Amino acid sequence: MTRTSATGRADSKGASSRKGFTLVELLMVVAIIGLAAGAVVLSMPDPRPSVGVEAEQFAARLTRAREEALMTNRLVAVETDARGYGFVSLDGDDWEPLSGVFAPRPWGEGVAAPREPMRVVFDPTGVTEPAEITLSRDGRSRTIRIDAAGEVTLDG
């Protein structure tokens, strides 16, 4: 008499030979893969740049705007609000938007900036009215300060 295994195969030796994996073994492998994937996802850094990087980029653009005012011998201003910032220059009687590195930019995702619109104007000698802009996200903040001489510093 030939014995038949649960898979429907006939075993000529009379003893069933085990081939493949049991359901318990497969569930354990799936659980281990799930735990490993969860650990990888939780250890990934936040893809958004930090508020410090955002503040450094803004401070660098402010410094560049001051240099633009000095080199072109005209007024250059930055206009900020809760959504972002842009640069303009006085061309005759009209304020014209600047392009390139001065193109309007939104604040980074989740960055909180002052809600009230603000304008900082650099005159052709590089001086301006002192100003302070604080950016924050996730409990961290950085403050960009512009002194009367037009020098830009970053605190925080």
Asked if 113 and 81 touch (Cβ cutoff 8 Å), the reply is yes
Q: pLDDT digit string (tens) for 105-124?
A: 999 888 888 889 999 999 99
Cβ(101)–Cβ(76) below 8 Å: no
The tens digit of pLDDT for each residue in 16-71 reads 566 888 999 899 999 999 999 988 888 877 666 678 889 999 999 999 999 999 99
Question: How much is the pTM?
Answer: 0.69
**Number of residues assigned to the chain:** 156
Tell me which residue of 138, 144, 62 sits closest to 105, measured CA to CA: 62
